[in-house]
Structure 1
């Protein structure tokens, strides 16, 4: 009976090891990123994600300052320095791209760059859009 118990323990350890290995392989294959970046806006008392930017693998969960800096770089590159009226190669503005994929109407809202490292909180990077964004039914319009 002692040998059977030992065998069960070894099988459980082997399953846990295989599951851990599987999750590691999947995270690498799926481009796991422990630093998330987003453009957010505020409504009332809360912040809402307008667009999540490409994530970054920081290698660990200890470099929150590095995550913030990398998210700022993503924000700066993706929004041309926060210019929502910058005309992109497809002849649409940065703001139009955001409005097209955001599910709600938005009026007179600045967008703020945020970062999140691992399971930590969303942290404001200190950067926001140069103009306010206004969207109605998926189309950008000039804010008043």
Structure 2
């Protein structure tokens, strides 16, 4: 049964690519021992085909660097909030009550496949109290 589901997913991705529906997603994640949380998703990137993993990865690296000023969680965004504040607000929206001393990692996804690590990590730690970004006291 699991094999059939995997095959159906692969066929669906291939059909989507043939119909011109290839896409690339970029996101910032928090990683824990047993789980990961999509903390912030950037605008979708258009790609031509679902086999363009390197293109998706490279464009996500650029998009994440531009959005976060190379991982600076205290950088201001066009919305007038810090990068970390936007992430804290998104995490609160998915029932995360607090974050203490966590790096934020860059990931990309091609055509509904698995999220893959871009190799990016914030140089500083993120701390959130309720829905507010706060300075981490113990790094």
TM surpasses 0.5: yes
How far has the Cα of 1:43 moved from its partner?
Answer: 1.6
Unaligned runs of 5+ in 2: 1-15
What is the aligned-residue RMSD (CA, Å)?
Answer: 2.1
Structure 1 or 2, whichever has the larger Rg, is 1
Provide the C-alpha distance between the structure 1 equivalents of 2:86 and 2:71, rounded to a whole number of angstroms.
13
Describe the shift of the 1:54–1:137 C-alpha distance in structure 2 as closer, same or farther (beyond 3 A).
Answer: same
Higher helix share: 1
Aligned residues: 116
1:102 partner SS: helix
Q: TM-score, normalised by structure 1?
A: 0.72
Q: TM-score, normalised by structure 2?
A: 0.75
How far has the Cα of 1:88 moved from its partner?
Answer: 4.0
How far has the Cα of 1:33 moved from its partner?
Answer: 6.0
Unaligned runs of 5+ in 1: 1-23
Cα deviation 1:75-127 (Å, max 9, x = unaligned):
01111111001234565322112212322221111010000101321110001
| Partners of 1:114 and 1:123 within 8 A in 2 | yes
- Which residue of the partner structure matches residue 142 of structure 1? 135
- Which residue of the partner structure matches residue 58 of structure 1? 47
